[in-house]
Structure 1
Amino acid sequence: MQSNVGGIDKILRIVVGATLMLLALAGMIGPWGWIGVVPLVTGLFNFCPAYRLLGVSTCKLRK
């Protein structure tokens, strides 16, 4: 797996994912909040399968 998530994209994924999961735990948005697992995991692993299919990358290239 080559990283394709980086920078602000990574931070937003982690924050949004964690927020959705916390709201689900608190019972504020119901079970749909568990969909937050997806952005949380993709942010933590720096890899998004959808980006790969679309040929998108938000990582800066390293030399």
Structure 2
Amino acid sequence: MLTRNMGQTDRVIRTIIGIALIALAFAALSGGWAWLAGIVGAVMLATAAMGNCPPYAILGINTCNTK
């Protein structure tokens, strides 16, 4: 089981940026840039939904207020 290491503010920011990147990928970008924006956006949405960021775990960062 993954331990939460992201706070509410971090999750909201990632959700907004993830949605924006996916919208940008479909609406304004083409080719490789569209794929890159879509993948990064999807990863940001997934980490926001799970509340866990693997790089945070590796670096020892925890923005979650609950124990």
Note whether the superposition's TM-score is higher than 0.5. yes
Q: Tell me how many residue pairs correspond in the alignment.
A: 61
- Structure-1 separation of matches of 2:26 and 2:7: 27
Q: Which residue of 2 aligns with 1:50?
A: 55
> Offset of 1:33 from its aligned partner?
1.3
Q: Aligned-residue CA RMSD in angstroms? A: 1.1
Q: Which amino acid aligns with 1:51?
A: Y
Deviation digits for residues 36-57 of structure 1 (CA, Å, limit 9, x no counterpart): 1111111111000000001111
What is the TM-score normalised by the length of structure 1? 0.86
Listed as ranges, the gaps of 5+ residues in structure 2 are none
Q: TM-score, normalised by structure 2?
A: 0.81
**CA–CA distance in 2 between the matches of 1:32 and 1:54?**
24
The gaps in structure 1 that reach 5 residues or longer are: none
Match of 1:36 among 6, 18, 41: 41
Query: Whole-Å Cα distance in 2 between the matches of residues 57 and 47 of structure 1?
Result: 9
Over 3 Å off, 4+ runs: none
